[in-house]
Chains A and B, each alone.
Chain A
């Protein structure tokens, strides 16, 4: 096959305050191929797409499109070059008709009056080309099912003269039959020499539809040009979850067999998310939950924390059952959560560091409702220093810190609260590689001081390296429980995949 390279992205770097989202990504796409982009949440896929669609400007790096270096300054510029993007949240206007949506922004019009008939006939031809003549151009888009809306998005892309269509997890909203029809549409597109960048977490789909695979991790390209049909699944997962840097995991402490159970979760279920989870964490123990996206791991943490209502089951801390569905009850019982999305769920980015630290402990610094700010600042500062947050200026706003230091702020909040149970959801997400070992050491130190820790991470080596005991989750079920020492990454992957296959 002498396929010609249509898109070449080289050494793309994109920094946001506090995190390097892309750190030298390379991607090349050939004419008429389905190029799959793989990576965990936070690996940089979305940022890369946004650079390609003109929504973000890269800090450095080059984009070569059809042999010429281009700058994609606006989404319109990308569109004009023939690059269309179909986002996960479909960007359609619900109240307009199918035809109006397809030609939104480049309406067929004469002297300012829209040419309804022409628009609808042209839209009809595009839908037919996509193999969906049953969608009426006059229909209101909001009334179409998700699959139909996706087809409309694709028709919109085709209404421009596209050479490349980027699809961000198109199958996430589709059932199996619809996925099959989507694939036949994609095959028709590639037969017309249109290239497709296909993003999905589902490896079996990639195997079915993809030609080549590029894997992103921590904002870098870790593998490229892999054959989609032939690369073993285990290798793909290892590229996504594995570590290319050896991390120094701290020494495990000795959790005494008779250490008291601090957190006891029994028969916890949430219909649709996870079923019948039992989890006991002793004083000083770190228990890890391993599993892929969608295995229910984050949902379990949020349910323990009361941020979600459980279907059934109980959560007990220090022998006292906590009221389900109430964050305040969990916090008062001594539970703390470091949420997955630090910026949107964890921090007040515009507020000073010390105010972020004291957020869960305000009552302690109040006398009759009045804050004793000196006290508040001093105690927050003490924890900020103990965790070695850099810079250690507690008056700085939290938004100016790097990912690792932001995570420490959230940790400091719960240390100040003297929490008994710490729930960590993806603690190293968006944390620079160098700062991770430091966070690991910190978590271990907390455990040694007597905190019971539950760790969720999509990075399997992280779970195995840091936790004492591991629960492997697949599709909302616990499929394995044991000492972290007794299992390796491959076995976890096998368990995860067996579960998915079942």
Chain B
């Protein structure tokens, strides 16, 4: 910190001391490698390495089964649906919140929209109505969550836990616990098709990611999200409407769930109250593995995308190796713990430097 200039005031000795304190803090600590790994690029490098290792393991254990274009598309299709939810979750978590109800909202949105589709017998029914219905249902649930949390001063954990129970219950009531087949003209054709060699579902995920990245990194909305999550008091005293913003965050994740519901309905050709089971846990895990800080103030869309890909690839490799879901669950649990431990070490290092 040699660019320090003397304090131009009459005080002399205290000014020296002022400089001394600062130079202590300014001194670089830790290796260049350590600093790189704690930068956002460095964190992503770690995720890329993890993904590559998984791919190598997949190729080594199952050979042609894994290294196959169709298999890659299977992974991507699966990743796309939960990925959209995880992207929405990234915003809520960055804003200092939490949403346990995403899986249930996906189920309710899929049931509601397929019910609309089966009840509207008119010939001119367009599948886009299903899409809008699902998104509206998701946004509505998110609005309820957000209002309860921001204005009702409920803990996010409790409010979204209640929504988790209620939304899935409502989905079961509406559907009478029956799976609802979708055969709306054009819906399946559109969403199960390919575009430029990639499944439409993957394109939707890609567009959602791009929009989300811009929203988080290039807009006032994103900046306010980080501010609210990082220090809600400071944000409020800077004139930011913290409560309103919190509501918007939960509406946003609700909309993401609506989109995911449409994608899942298309992928399975059904609406079901059992859709999206355990999505909340997978989505939160993906977000945290990606490097978004649970507790708020720091969020990364790119990290979440890697978190999604790592989790999906892992599932695929396990399935191809004929390992049962219980083993998968144990491995996922271990990965979450390892990822968070690594993250904390990196965070501790960047705090001291």
Given A327-B236, A359-B238, A248 and B9 contact (CB-CB distance below 8 Å): yes
Q: What is the bound-complex CA distance between A202 and B226, given in angstroms?
A: 41
Establish whether residues B241 and A328, one from each chain, have CB atoms under 8 Å apart when the complex forms. yes
Contact with B along A380-413 (1 / 0, CB 8 A): 0000000000110000000011101100000001
Q: How far is the CB of A119 from chain B (nearest CB, A)?
A: 34
The segment out of B12-20, B74-82, B258-266 that lies at the interface is B12-20
Residue of B nearest to A358 (CB): B223
B219 located at the interface, meaning its Cβ lies under 8 Å from any Cβ of chain A in the complex: yes
Contact with A along B231-264 (1 / 0, CB 8 A): 1011111111100000000000000000000000
9 contacts between A and B (CB under 8 A): A344-B231, A345-B234, A359-B240, A371-B218, A433-B17, A434-B9, A435-B18, A438-B7, A438-B9
Q: What is the bound-complex CA distance between A190 and B7, given in angstroms?
A: 49
**Residues of chain A within 8 A of B26, CB atoms compared:** 391, 400
Q: What is the bound-complex CA distance between A373 and B297, given in angstroms?
A: 19
Contact with B along A310-324 (1 / 0, CB 8 A): 000000000000000
Residue of A nearest to B241 (CB): A328
B334 located at the interface, meaning its Cβ lies under 8 Å from any Cβ of chain A in the complex: no
Establish whether residues B234 and A362, one from each chain, have CB atoms under 8 Å apart when the complex forms. no
**Residues of chain A within 8 A of B240, CB atoms compared:** 328, 359-360
Establish whether residues B9 and A350, one from each chain, have CB atoms under 8 Å apart when the complex forms. no
B330 located at the interface, meaning its Cβ lies under 8 Å from any Cβ of chain A in the complex: no
A62 located at the interface, meaning its Cβ lies under 8 Å from any Cβ of chain B in the complex: no
Establish whether residues A369 and B219, one from each chain, have CB atoms under 8 Å apart when the complex forms. yes
A271 located at the interface, meaning its Cβ lies under 8 Å from any Cβ of chain B in the complex: no
Measured CB to CB, the residues of A under 8 A from B are 15, 17-20, 245, 247-248, 305, 307, 327-328, 330-332, 337, 339, 344-351, 355, 359-360, 362-363, 365-366, 369-371, 373, 390-391, 400-402, 404-405, 413, 432-435, 437-438, 441
What are the 10 tightest A-B residue pairs by CB atom distance, in nearest-first order? Answer: A331-B239, A434-B14, A434-B15, A434-B18, A433-B14, A437-B9, A360-B238, A359-B238, A362-B220, A348-B230
Establish whether residues B221 and A369, one from each chain, have CB atoms under 8 Å apart when the complex forms. yes
B326 located at the interface, meaning its Cβ lies under 8 Å from any Cβ of chain A in the complex: no
**Residues of chain B within 8 A of A363, CB atoms compared:** 220
**Residues of chain B within 8 A of A307, CB atoms compared:** 236-237
Q: What is the bound-complex CA distance between A485 and B308, given in angstroms?
A: 67
B124 located at the interface, meaning its Cβ lies under 8 Å from any Cβ of chain A in the complex: no
Residue of B nearest to A402 (CB): B22
**Residues of chain B within 8 A of A344, CB atoms compared:** 231, 233-234
Residue of B nearest to A329 (CB): B239
Establish whether residues A390 and B234, one from each chain, have CB atoms under 8 Å apart when the complex forms. no
Residue of B nearest to A362 (CB): B220
Q: What is the bound-complex CA distance between A320 and B185, given in angstroms?
A: 60
Establish whether residues B235 and A359, one from each chain, have CB atoms under 8 Å apart when the complex forms. yes
Establish whether residues B227 and A345, one from each chain, have CB atoms under 8 Å apart when the complex forms. no
- Near A by CB (< 8 A), chain B positions 290-346 give 297-298
Number of A-B contacts (CB under 8 A): 130
B5 located at the interface, meaning its Cβ lies under 8 Å from any Cβ of chain A in the complex: yes
Q: How far is the CB of A431 from chain B (nearest CB, A)?
A: 9
Q: What is the bound-complex CA distance between A363 and B223, given in angstroms?
A: 11
Most chain A CB within a 10 A radius of its CB, from B214, B218, B239: B239
Q: What is the bound-complex CA distance between A402 and B14, given in angstroms?
A: 14
Q: How far is the CB of A211 from chain B (nearest CB, A)?
A: 33
**Residues of chain B within 8 A of A434, CB atoms compared:** 7, 9, 11, 13-18
**Residues of chain A within 8 A of B9, CB atoms compared:** 248, 434, 437-438, 441
Establish whether residues B227 and A359, one from each chain, have CB atoms under 8 Å apart when the complex forms. yes
**Residues of chain B within 8 A of A404, CB atoms compared:** 18
Residue of B nearest to A400 (CB): B25
B121 located at the interface, meaning its Cβ lies under 8 Å from any Cβ of chain A in the complex: no
Q: What is the bound-complex CA distance between A373 and B223, given in angstroms?
A: 11
Our pick among B4, B21, B25, B226 for the contact of A348 (Cβ within 8 Å) is: B226
Our pick among B223, B231, B239, B298 for the contact of A327 (Cβ within 8 Å) is: B239
Establish whether residues B233 and A432, one from each chain, have CB atoms under 8 Å apart when the complex forms. no
**Residues of chain A within 8 A of B25, CB atoms compared:** 17-18, 400, 402
Residue of A nearest to B221 (CB): A369
Q: What is the bound-complex CA distance between A404 and B3, given in angstroms?
A: 17
Q: What is the bound-complex CA distance between A39 and B24, given in angstroms?
A: 27
Establish whether residues B237 and A371, one from each chain, have CB atoms under 8 Å apart when the complex forms. no
Q: What is the bound-complex CA distance between A349 and B296, given in angstroms?
A: 13
Q: What is the bound-complex CA distance between A434 and B17, given in angstroms?
A: 7
**Residues of chain B within 8 A of A433, CB atoms compared:** 11, 14, 17-18
Our pick among B4, B218, B221, B233 for the contact of A390 (Cβ within 8 Å) is: B4
Establish whether residues A328 and B239, one from each chain, have CB atoms under 8 Å apart when the complex forms. yes
Q: How far is the CB of A61 from chain B (nearest CB, A)?
A: 16
Most chain B CB within a 10 A radius of its CB, from A339, A347, A348, A351: A348
Q: How far is the CB of B13 from chain A (nearest CB, A)?
A: 8
Q: What is the bound-complex CA distance between A359 and B11, given in angstroms?
A: 33
**Residues of chain B within 8 A of A400, CB atoms compared:** 25-26
Our pick among A328, A347, A369 for the contact of B231 (Cβ within 8 Å) is: A347
Q: What is the bound-complex CA distance between A327 and B13, given in angstroms?
A: 40
Q: What is the bound-complex CA distance between A348 and B237, given in angstroms?
A: 12
Establish whether residues B1 and A245, one from each chain, have CB atoms under 8 Å apart when the complex forms. no
Residue of B nearest to A360 (CB): B238
Q: How far is the CB of A107 from chain B (nearest CB, A)?
A: 31
Establish whether residues B18 and A402, one from each chain, have CB atoms under 8 Å apart when the complex forms. yes
Establish whether residues B297 and A245, one from each chain, have CB atoms under 8 Å apart when the complex forms. no
Assuming A331-B239, A360-B239, A400-B25, what are 17 further A-B pairs, CB within 8 angstroms?
A248-B11, A307-B237, A327-B239, A328-B239, A344-B233, A345-B233, A348-B227, A348-B230, A351-B227, A359-B223, A359-B235, A362-B220, A369-B219, A391-B1, A391-B22, A400-B26, A435-B18
